[in-house]
A = this chain, B = another copy of it.
């Protein structure tokens, strides 16, 4: 019987989610010095189940059982993946890696703070070496090492698929960005950085989330340093935002973004929630939902037509004389910059491309870690036309590699492309613009819930795209969407 194991795994994981949420939103500054011990003990309970031989045998036996329902088969598949991944790695090496990861975070943070890449480089080198070695243990015959790592985050896309995807983006976006850059002086964004009372921002953001379909019976919004979404199950989904008095669009678009993630989790089928099949299909598919709401819908003129008047009423002094068209152009301004998390819709995928290309080098070549900052800077200059002056605003900016995670970044770019393809299909089935203008966007929310969200992990991202769109994934829609949109915004 697998059930009692799953019940306990769910309990420990849910507790960990709650402790994480609490840490990011409310716990007092000194709490963690003692709470971390509690969290460690709960993690150990979880680890003991996952490494229990009876549990592992149960899972592996069930894996070949042909009589399982789709839900059961998905659960078993997910559990088996974990067992297979770790069972091929010698326990002693895995433990060394875990210890290294637990130290790497603060080494990275300090290095970033002091612009001192050299102090992080040896740790990064070791993390790379571990993941290369582990990928070697885990790979199928003939499989490339980086493909092993990519598979941990997105089983349906390998290096070959991503190479083609990014090549296409490079070919189309880099020249488009150059054209756009020439006309950037024409777009005024100064009014977005006036003083906006954060309590009024908070009220407006809550209404905005509600308007998008965020269900406050099943969810809460709080504040944290960095916005994120988490959930205990499909009836308890939590998002955060962060208000800046002098940056109106920052909190608003992060609220829309996190609401996109939240709607996914709120709409996962009841029979899947609280099971290992009860998450999103993949990180990229999750990101497609947040980006769909944030960019494709949330930065469109039709979306703001019924809402902009309310925003003006909330901030009459700041926005009373700003027309809807001026506002729409401002929130869509594209400008090459150095920091991924602050980048716009057009340049975002170029930031990802830099990381993708570096990860390939790290995992599949013997690149010297001390060479990486220069490679990073060269690629930024080539694709975005800007060059970081420091490593803090260069290779040290993201936390991901300090977790020992390589292969996650492409998910961000893929998510954008998924969103565009789904949007193109949606437009064939309904008049999306008219729905946005109507002030009731529930048909859009229902479409995504019905075609994507409810399935949880029972379909992978490629299967979902195929089922929703009637064709395999292609980057064409994404490229067309960006070209079309930016030619319109910039009147090219």
Contacts and interface: CB of A to CB of B under 8 A. Distances in A.
A23 to B, nearest CB: 10
Given A22-B22, A26-B222, A37-B274, A15 B31 contact: no
A485 to B, nearest CB: 35
A329 interface: no
A313 to B, nearest CB: 21
A151 B30 CA distance: 35
A484 interface: no
A14 interface: yes
B219 A28 contact: yes
A232 interface: yes
Given A31-B236, A34-B273, 20 more contacts: A7-B41, A8-B45, A11-B38, A11-B41, A11-B42, A14-B35, A15-B15, A15-B19, A15-B38, A18-B18, A26-B220, A27-B220, A28-B236, A30-B217, A34-B232, A34-B233, A34-B235, A34-B274, A38-B232, A38-B274
Nearest to A41: B11
A90 interface: no
Interface of A: 7-8, 10-11, 14-15, 18-19, 22, 26-31, 33-35, 37-38, 41-42, 45, 216-220, 222, 232-237, 273-274
Contacts of A232: 31, 34-35, 38
Nearest to A16: B15
A41 to B, nearest CB: 4
Given A8-B41, A37-B274, A235 B15 contact: no
Nearest to A19: B18
A266 to B, nearest CB: 10
A292 B197 CA distance: 40
A218 B19 contact: no
Contacts of A37: 7, 11, 274
A273 to B, nearest CB: 7
10 contacts: A8-B41, A8-B45, A10-B38, A11-B45, A18-B19, A27-B236, A28-B237, A31-B233, A34-B235, A37-B274
Given A7-B41, A10-B41, A35 B233 contact: yes
A232 to B, nearest CB: 6
A14 B27 contact: no
Contacts of A31: 218, 232-233, 235-236
Residue from A28, A220, A237 with most neighbouring chain B CB atoms (10 Å): A28
Contact of A33 (B7, B216, B235): B235
Contact of A30 (B7, B10, B33, B236): B236
Contact of A28 (B14, B38, B218): B218
Contact of A35 (B29, B38, B236): B236
A300 B156 CA distance: 71
Contacts of A14: 35, 38
Contacts of A19: 15, 18
Nearest to A37: B274
Contacts of A41: 7-8, 10-11
A33 B236 CA distance: 10
Nearest to A270: B34
A135 B217 CA distance: 44
B220 A30 contact: no
Contacts of A222: 26
A217 B29 contact: yes
Contacts of A234: 34
